Amino acid sequence: MLLSWLPLILIILLAAKISFSIAAFACGLRRKAITPGAVLWIVSCWIAAGFFTAGYAHYICVALQKADLWFMVAIGVFLVLPLADLAIAPLAMAWNRHR
């Protein structure tokens, strides 16, 4: 039962995480707490690390003959990697500077 709902749940959680991160980056850019170059660097490294780790997870799932689980593992990898934390950190530092 859970395995049939898990891909949908993971997709919704990933979309929420990315939406929250976009809002945090936009707020950080507006308050000049983070530069556009830093945003590009963080997001591109997050995507590269996510694809590398998801590809490795796919390789392991195929080697274990559980290829049907690789999609859930790949999405789970993107959920584990910090994106929202990296988006909020400059905001928190800027907020603490102005206290």
pLDDT digits (tens, 9 = 90+) for 66-95: 878 888 888 888 888 787 777 777 777 776
Asked if residue 23 belongs to a domain, the reply is: yes
Question: Looking at the 3D structure of the chain, how many domains does it have?
Answer: 1
User: How many Å apart are CA 88 and CA 25, to the nearest integer?
Assistant: 7
Instruction: Kindly write down the DSSP assignment for every residue of 12-61, as one continuous string.
Output: HHHHHHHHHHHHHHHHHHHTTSS-HHHHHHHHHHHHHHHHHHHHHHHHHH
Task: Give the pLDDT confidence score for residue 70 in this predicted structure.
Answer: 81
Asked if residue 2 belongs to a domain, the reply is: no
State which amino acid sits at residue 89. Answer: A
User: Quick one: DSSP state of residue 98?
Assistant: T
Cβ pair 70, 62 in contact under 8 A: yes
Asked if residue 47 belongs to a domain, the reply is: yes
Cβ pair 6, 72 in contact under 8 A: yes
Reported confidence tier of residue 6, pLDDT bands at 50, 70, 90:
confident
Tell me the pTM. Answer: 0.76
Asked if residue 9 belongs to a domain, the reply is: no
